Amino acid sequence: MGTSTGQPSRQSLETRVLELRSQLQKASYAYYALDDPILPDEVYDRLYRELQDLEAAHPELVAPDSPTQRVGEKPATQFTSVRHNIPLYSLENAFDLAEFQVWEDRWRRLEPQAGEVGYVAELKIDGSALALTYENGLLVRGATRGDGVEGEDITQNVKTIRSIPLRLALENPPPVVEVRGEAFLPLNVFEQINEERQAKGEARFANPRNAAAGTLRQLDSRKVAERKLDFFAYTLQVPEGKEAGGQGGKGAGGQKETKAVPESPASPLLCPAASQWQALQQLQEMGFKVNPNCTLCGSAQEVGEFYDRWDTERLQLPYMTDGVVVKLNDFDLQRRLGFTQKFPRWAVALKYPAEEVPTVLEQVSFQVGRTGAVTPVAELRPVQVAGTTVARATLHNADRMTELDIHAGDTVIIRKAGEIIPEVVRVLTELRPAEAALAHMPSHCPECSQPLVKPEDEAVTRCINSSCPAIVQGAIIHWASRNALDIAGLGEKWIVQLVERGLVHSVADLYDLTVDTLLPLERMGQQLAQKLIDAIATSKSKPWSRVLYGLGIRHVGSVNAQTLAENFLTVDELAAAEPAAIAAVFGIGPEIARSVYTWFQLPANQTLIKRLQAEGLQLAADADAIAQRQSAPRPLAGKTFVLTGTLPTLSRNEAQALIEQAGGKVTGSVSKKTSYVVAGEEAGSKLTKAQTLGISILSEADLLALLES
C-alpha cells in the first residue's frame, strides 16, 4: 500500500486548470455578453486568483485562451500592418426613408423575381470596427479595419475586451472563423474617462468614437483594459475553401459602415446558415454579445417603422448610435446581388438626420491643399455637434460663400455632413451685427502670394504655383502617409520644417536627404535622423500601386490606384495610355481617365517620374505579374466588337474593359470586319446594320458566356 506525498499529480493539476478556465469563461460570458451574472464577484475573484497562482507555479500550463492572458505583460513597441483574410466593405448611405426606397428599387431591378423578402435591421453602433480571426476556435488575431484591405494587428488589446471570447463556445469549431463587429465605449465609461482626464489636466476626448479608436491603439494593453471597452458582433464568415464543421459556426452578412473601401471583391463564403438572422443567433451561441436592439422585418415598411422608433429611443441607450444598418436577410439573395466596386448591393446604412446647432462665425480663413485647391474655412465659436466639439467648418468654395452671403460675426447653423465633416448650412441674417464684414475669396494665394485662378468648369479656386509651400507640403504629407509610401516617423512637423528650410521641393528630394542635412532641424538628433533616412530608403520597396497613389493625381484614391496598377503594369504603360484606354478599365471612368492622362502630360511630372525611377522606386509590377499577363490566355484575340444600347448590368466602359482584357478590340462602327455586335436595350442603327450584314448579335449574357468559354 503506497503512501501519499501530499503533492497533487500532474494530471490533477491540468484537470483543475482546465476546470477553472471553463468556469471563468462561462462566468465572463454570462456577465459581459448576457448581462446575467452566474457567480458573485468574490467567488469569481477567488477562482481567478487560484488559476493565476497555479499558472504562476506551473508556467507550462499557461494557454493563450486563459482568462489570465487578457492583459499583456509588456507594452507593445508598435503595431504591424496585416492584410484581412476577407476585405471589409463600407456601406452605401441613405439619409432618409426616401433614399432607402431608392436603394430598394435599385436592387429589385437586378432581382425582379425576388418577391417578398425579409430584412434584418440592426442599430448602427458608433464605435471602431474590428476584424477577429479564430483558428480551431482560438482567437489568434484582432485587427482594426484600416482601409478595408489592410489593418493594424492589435490582438493584445482586443484580448482585454471581456465581451470578446478568447475561445469559441464550440465543441468542433471550423479551422478558420472570421467575426466582425464594433468595439465601443459605453457612455457612462466615456464620461468617467473624461472626468479623470480633466482632473489630471489632460484634454477631454471629443466623442466616444474617437475615444474607442484611440484606446484600441494604445501600446500598453493594461491601459486598454482600464478603459472597459465593450463589443457587439454583427458578421460571421468562413473563408472559401475552409473545411466545414462546428455548431453553426459559419455564415455571412453585411459589413459595418466605415471610412474607406477595399480594393477587391470580398472572398466567396461558405454559408451553412441561410440568413443573417440565423448568423446573429449563431454568434450568440459561439459566445459573442450581439446587440439586442435588432429585428427581423418582413417588409421595407417594417424597416421604416423600426427606423422611426429608434430615432428618439436611441437617445436613451447607454452607447452612441447614428443610424440603422439594413441587410437583406437571405444569404442566397445576397450572393446573387454581390458587390459594386465600393459597396455590397444587399446592405445599406440608413442614417439619422445630422444634428444642427447654431454658433457664431468669428472669421473666415483659407486653406491650400496639395492639389492647390483653396478652401474657405469658417472659424467658429466652439460648440458641440453630434457629440463632437466643433470649432471649424468647411464653406466649400467661393460659390457657396456667395450663396450663403456670409459675414464675419454672423450667427450660423452648422451640422456634420454625413456625420463626419462639419459644414455651415445657413446664416441667420436677422442676427447679423451692423458692423459685420462680407467674407470673400482672396485674389492671391495666402501661402505663396501668387494669383489664384478659377477654371470655368470648376467650382474650386486654385493656386497653380507648383512651388507653393502648401502644395509641396501637402504632396509630401500624402506621399509619406500610411496608404501611400508609409514612411514611418516622417510626420507633418518634420515635413513643415523641410519645406520651410528649402530642403525639399518635391517628393523626389526626400531621397537626396542625408543625416547631416536633417540634423539642423529643431529637436532632431543623430539617432532619429538615421531612423528617418532608413525609413525613407525602406519606402523604395513599396509596390507600384502605392507609388501611383502617392503621386497624388486628382481623383486617384488608393482603390483606383490599385485598379490602374493591375491593368497598367508599368508607369511607362500608363503614361503612354490614351484617355479612352484608361477609361475602359473596370471601375475607372472618364473623369479619372482625363485626370491621369493630363497629369502625365505635364513636363514637371515627367521629370518627377524619371527622378523616382533613378532613385530606385517601384514603378512597375513585379516580374511574375508581368510574365503572368504576357502568358495569360486571350480567347478573344483577333475579334472585333461593337457595343450598342444599354446593357442590363454592365456599363459601356465595363464591357469594353472585359473584352479588351480577353484580347478583343472594341470599335465604334459596324463593318464587314466586325466579329460581333453586343446589343442592349434601345439599340439603334448599329444593330440594324449588323443584321443587314449578317453579323452575330450578342446579348450581355451571351458576351459573358463567351468570355467564360
| Alpha-carbon span 285 to 5, nearest angstrom | 43
| Alpha-carbon span 584 to 593, nearest angstrom | 9
DSSP reduced 3-state for 620: strand
DSSP reduced 3-state for 247: coil
Contacts of 591 (CB under 8 A, 6+ apart): 555
DSSP reduced 3-state for 373: strand
H-helix or E-strand containing 3?
A: none
| Alpha-carbon span 385 to 236, nearest angstrom | 34
Contacts of 627 (CB under 8 A, 6+ apart): none
Q: Are 572 and 626 in contact (CB under 8 A)?
A: no
In the chain, the N- to C-terminal Cα span, in Å, equals: 80
Report phi then psi at 362, rounded to 5: -85, -40
* Cell representation of residue 482: 500610411
Contacts of 507 (CB under 8 A, 6+ apart): 475, 476, 479, 550, 608, 612
Q: Are 364 and 406 in contact (CB under 8 A)?
A: yes
Given the DSSP bridges, would you call strands 640-644 and 676-679 parallel, antiparallel or unpaired? parallel
| Alpha-carbon span 626 to 571, nearest angstrom | 13
Q: What residues does 324 pair with on adjacent strands?
A: 123, 350
Q: What residues does 130 pair with on adjacent strands?
A: 144, 181
H-helix or E-strand containing 131?
A: strand 128-135
| Alpha-carbon span 232 to 248, nearest angstrom | 19
| Alpha-carbon span 30 to 282, nearest angstrom | 16
DSSP reduced 3-state for 81: strand
Four-residue CA torsion sign, 626, 631, 634, 640: positive
Q: Are 666 and 580 in contact (CB under 8 A)?
A: no
Output the furthest CA–CA distance in the chain (Å, rounded).
106
| Alpha-carbon span 64 to 20, nearest angstrom | 14
DSSP reduced 3-state for 30: helix
**Is residue 259 among the annotated active site residues?**
no
Within 10 Å of residue 696's Cβ, how many Cβ atoms?
A: 12
Q: Are 444 and 451 in contact (CB under 8 A)?
A: yes
| Alpha-carbon span 590 to 602, nearest angstrom | 19
Four-residue CA torsion sign, 134, 135, 139, 142: negative
Q: Which of 124, 159, 351, 686 is catalytic?
A: 124
Report phi then psi at 177, rounded to 5: -130, 135
* Cell representation of residue 173: 469549431
H-state helical runs in 66-186: 97-110, 155-158
Q: Are 459 and 466 in contact (CB under 8 A)?
A: no
Q: What angle do CA 334, 336, 342 make, to 5 degrees?
A: 70
DSSP reduced 3-state for 690: helix
Q: What are the residue numbers of the active site?
A: 124
